[in-house]
Amino acid sequence: MTATAATPATVIQIADSVVAEINAADLSKKNITAARLYVPDFDLEDMKELRVSVVPREVEYLPLDRATNKYHATIDVAVQKKFSKGDAKEIDPLVYFVEEIADYFRLKRLNSYVAARCIKVENSVLYSTEHWTQFNQFTSLLTLTFELAK
């Protein structure tokens, strides 16, 4: 089977579905628009607004049977915002927002790609100390792993 513009790679379909889910979800932060990117590269000035970037990161193919693979797609979700003071009043709502996204996807089947189910959610970077000290920027990274048979 040959991929065309009409049929994007499975990992891209999953990432686009994650974007749609975040944008449609009833989360504490309103008026944000998640976007699928390959490399989230923003000017520091752009970071005054809350940014949610969805990045397809990795694909793993595991044999399921002779004709089918178990497919694991890893998607990163970055939540970023420049802060002024970096105190609890400013940062706690961002940490809560990341947790809301994590809770939303835990064991969830994607509405627009129901074959894929989220089997693992990690928040290994609660906040990047490098971004904190260098840019006065909160950056948290969620990693979502979706599984499907293909």
Q: Specify the CATH number for the domain of residue 59.
A: 3.30.70.1700
The answer to the question of residue 81 being in a domain is yes
The burial of 75, by beta-carbon neighbours within 10 Å (0-12 exposed, 13-18 middle, 19 or more buried), is given as buried
The answer to the question of residue 2 being in a domain is no
Predicted pLDDT of residue 4: 55
Task: Give the count of domains, the chain.
Answer: 1
Predicted pLDDT of residue 36: 97
The answer to the question of residue 130 being in a domain is yes
Block means of pLDDT (10 residues each) for the chain, length 150 residues?
70 97 93 92 86 96 89 97 95 97 96 96 96 95 96
What are the strands, taking DSSP E only, across 8-136?
A: 35-36, 51-63, 69-82, 109-110, 113-125
The answer to the question of residue 3 being in a domain is no
pTM score, whole prediction: 0.91
Give the helix/strand (H/E) hosting 143: strand 137-149
Predicted pLDDT of residue 110: 96
Contact 78, 61 (CB under 8 A): no
